[in-house]
Structure 1
Amino acid sequence: MTELVERVDEEDRVLGVVDRDEAIRQGWPHRVATTVCRDPRGRVLVHRRPEHVSRFPGHYDWLIGGGVAAGETYQEAAARELEEELGVRAPVRFLFKFLCRGAISPYWLGVHRAVLTEAVTPDPSEVAWHGWLTERELREALRRWLFVPDGVEALRRRPDLGAPPAAIPSPAPPRS
């Protein structure tokens, strides 16, 4: 299936629309939107990717997300990915973005947060396992489990991402 994304430059300015697989093969920067999901108790949703997926099979991740479709904002993509991957609708709040050199290809990574108040129903083609971890349990898991490296990079850049939402400052949303 073709997934059209916007090829962007080192300043996140749109250069054109391309197939995401082609952007990855060519090493062209594009956009990815992710969300840190918490429950009302402040725990973080962590999931394991299925073994059959092409990108990071069997790896754990604490970010839910995917490619930003052509014409879509980071925030719209983050909300769409929550619905596609977890079967939930929730408001997402932009936190920050950075040019991630990525384990697979370079891309602009937009990181958001959401508090999920309804039960999640993960898509088994995207999520093999999920669980809610406390901040301490997440830090321990990051040392013991094999995580998607780009999610670890986001946490390295913003160590406060593991903190409860009230402790994380909210900047203005990015311009697309």
Structure 2
Amino acid sequence: MTGLSICGARYTRHNPERAGDIPTPGWDLAQGSEKLAGMTEEMVALYDADGHPSGQAPRSVMRRENLRHGATGILVSNSAGQVYVHRRTDTKDVYPGHHDFAAGGVMAAGEEPLESARRELAEELGINGVELHPVGEADYRDERLDMHAWLYHVVWDGPVVHQASEVAWGGWMDPDQVQAMIDDPQVPVMPDAVAVWEAFDWPSLVRP
């Protein structure tokens, strides 16, 4: 099945455009070592169907085979109840140029979820030293993504500094503006973020 499943809850939202489970093959480090000779590539954390660590793989292999991996998503809001929205660069390896209202990303091999969320928040938006509030966990799958995600919320009124390789644009938006963006078929928006926005009722989290 494809779509979003909230861990520990009954709510499930699936994408009817794609049916059938995708197998999660392992990656043989010995078999792939020759291809990686002389290269340095990010190793990412793989997770099984129950949300448990199941190994690691190079990022390129994870993307090519759509392997199930660990990820984080952080909703950033300010004290006025606005949400920080950014547009992904056109060089991203998945969903380039899409708008997103969740910072975060792929967990590196050996990383803990909270550690990964703090790293991604600092790298992407330059946000440091802020308390991350856990929101929950969710599984998301489509034709490009297959992940177990840990979700967080932060309130931030300080400056935002973009990572040039990750973020092309960003700004604060009211929740109704975010919803209008989601509802506009002309605006490309990250589908996993949309699923989480609806399932976890993220607008309620940012109300001052």
**TM-score interval w.r.t. the shorter chain?**
0.7 to 0.9
| Cα pair 2:140 2:147 within 8 Å, conserved | yes
Of 185, 195, 200, the match for 1:153:
195
Unaligned runs of 5+ in 2: 1-39
Q: Distance in 2 between matches of 1:62 and 1:103?
A: 21
The 5-angstrom pairing of residues 21-60 of structure 1 reads: 21-60=60-99
Residue 132 of structure 1: how far off its partner (Å): 0.5
SS in 2 for 1:80: helix
Q: Which amino acid aligns with 2:189?
A: F
SS in 2 for 1:66: strand
Q: Which residue of 2 aligns with 1:18?
A: 57
Q: Which residue of 2 aligns with 1:122?
A: 162
Residue 161 of structure 1: how far off its partner (Å): 0.6
Aligned residue pairs total 166
Residue 21 of structure 1: how far off its partner (Å): 2.2
Q: Which residue of 1 aligns with 2:135?
A: 95
Residue 56 of structure 1: how far off its partner (Å): 1.4
Q: Distance in 1 between matches of 2:152 and 2:63?
A: 23
Q: Distance in 2 between matches of 1:114 and 1:83?
A: 12
| Cα pair 2:46 2:55 within 8 Å, conserved | yes
Residue 28 of structure 1: how far off its partner (Å): 2.2
Q: Please tell me whether Structure 1 or Structure 2 has the larger radius of gyration of its CA atoms.
A: 2
Question: Identity percentage over the alignment?
Answer: 28
Q: Which residue of 1 aligns with 2:176?
A: 136
TM superposition score normalised by structure 1 = 0.87
| Cα pair 1:29 1:107 within 8 Å, conserved | yes
| Cα pair 2:83 2:206 within 8 Å, conserved | no
SS in 2 for 1:131: strand
Of 42, 57, 62, the match for 2:101:
62
Q: Distance in 1 between matches of 2:199 and 2:143?
A: 16
Residue 103 of structure 1: how far off its partner (Å): 4.2
Moved more, 43-52 or 15-24: 15-24
Structure 1 or 2: larger helix share? 1
SS in 1 for 2:139: strand
Of 107, 122, 129, the match for 2:147:
107
Q: What value does the CA root-mean-square deviation take over the aligned residues?
A: 1.7
Deviation string, structure 1 residues 44-73 (Cα, Å, up to 9, x no partner): 000111223222121101011111112212
Q: Distance in 2 between matches of 1:65 and 1:111?
A: 9
